[in-house]
């Protein structure tokens, strides 16, 4: 499965803007975990691992973040700098977030609760697991 961008509904009025999302529409099932990443020091990267059992939707709620998503089919780079755009990363994706602006807040919506045993932090091991499965 490939990663892809999602247009998030956003509305503007004289008194401000607001955005909405309906988890089953976005992620295809119930959201079981919401996490957020912020105050990332300049030059640091987050994630840099594979989520073997989780699909995740990423949204930059503030600031700017670069996101790399690699699946068994492709590797894509995204620039998240507008909270009306999200990125879907399917399970077994190698994910890396980097280039955080000082005010960046990256939110993740996952279809699974966190379980350390499903995260692969070694890229070589990730490649081995993909070759075994496919």
Domains and CATH numbers, the chain: 4-8+29-133 (2.60.120.10)
List Cα–Cα distances, 131 to 85, 125, 128, in angstroms: 32, 10, 5
pLDDT tens digit string along 21-68? 776 666 667 888 999 999 999 999 999 999 889 999 999 999 999 999
pLDDT tens digit string along 86-130? 999 999 999 999 999 999 999 999 998 888 888 999 999 998 988
Round to whole Å and give the CA distance between 62 and 54: 24
Is the separation of the CB atoms in 49 and 124 below 8 Å? no
Tell me the three state secondary structure of residue 43. coil
Global pTM?
0.91
């Amino acid at each position: 499965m490939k990663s892809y961008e999602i247009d998030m509904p956003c509305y503007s009025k004289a008194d401000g803007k607001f955005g909405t999302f309906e988890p089953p529409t976005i992620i295809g099932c119930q959201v079981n975990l919401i996490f957020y990443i912020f105050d990332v020091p300049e030059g640091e990267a987050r994630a840099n691992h594979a989520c073997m059992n989780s699909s995740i939707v990423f949204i930059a709620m503030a600031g700017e973040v670069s996101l790399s998503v690699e699946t068994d089919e492709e590797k894509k780079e995204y620039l998240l700098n507008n909270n009306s755009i999200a990125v879907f990363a399917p399970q077994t994706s190698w994910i890396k977030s980097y280039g955080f602006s000082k005010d960046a807040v990256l939110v993740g919506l996952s279809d699974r609760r966190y379980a350390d045993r499903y995260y692969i932090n070694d890229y070589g091991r990730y490649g081995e697991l993909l070759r075994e499965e496919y």
